[in-house]
Structure 1
Amino acid sequence: MSKTIWIVVANRVTARIFAAESPLGAIDEIETLLHPQGRVPDEDLVTDKPGRTYDRVGPGRSASDPDTTQHEHEATVFAGEIAQMLTKSRNEQRYGTLVLAAPPAFLGALRKAIDAQTRSLVTLELDKDLAQFDARALRAHLPERLVRAEA
Structure 2
Amino acid sequence: MSRTWVLISDAARARLFEVAEHDGMTEIACYSNPSRRSMTHNKADHSPSRTHDSHGPGRHIIEVHTSSREKSERQFASSIVEALEHGIAQHQCGRLILVAPPHFLGVLHAKLTPSLEKVMVGEIHNDLVSCSTQELADRLHEAFPRECHQQLRRAAL
Give me the TM-score of the superposition, normalised by structure 2: 0.76
Work out the CA distance in 1 between the residues paired with 2:55 and 2:136.
57
Q: What's the counterpart of residue 19 of structure 2? A: 20
Work out the CA distance in 2 between the residues paired with 1:127 and 1:146.
19
Q: What's the counterpart of residue 133 of structure 1? A: 131
Query: Structure 2, unaligned stretches of length 5 or more?
Result: 149-157
- The match for 2:115 among 114, 117, 127 is 117
Q: How big is each residue's C-alpha offset from its partner over 1:9-51, in whole Å with a ceiling of 9 and x where there is no partner?
A: 00000110011114xx8311111000021121155xx9xxx98
Give the CA RMSD over aligned residues: 2.9
Q: What's the counterpart of residue 68 of structure 1? A: 66
Paired letter, 2:127: D
Query: Structure 1, unaligned stretches of length 5 or more?
Result: none
Paired letter, 2:10: N
Give me the TM-score of the superposition, normalised by structure 1: 0.79
CA shift for structure 1 position 68? 3.1
Percent identity over the alignment is 27
Q: Which is helix-richer, 1 or 2?
A: 2
Three-state SS of the structure 1 residue aligned to 2:147 is coil
- After TM superposition, what 4+ stretches of structure 1 lie above 3 angstroms from structure 2? 50-54, 56-65
Work out the CA distance in 1 between the residues paired with 2:41 and 2:64.
12
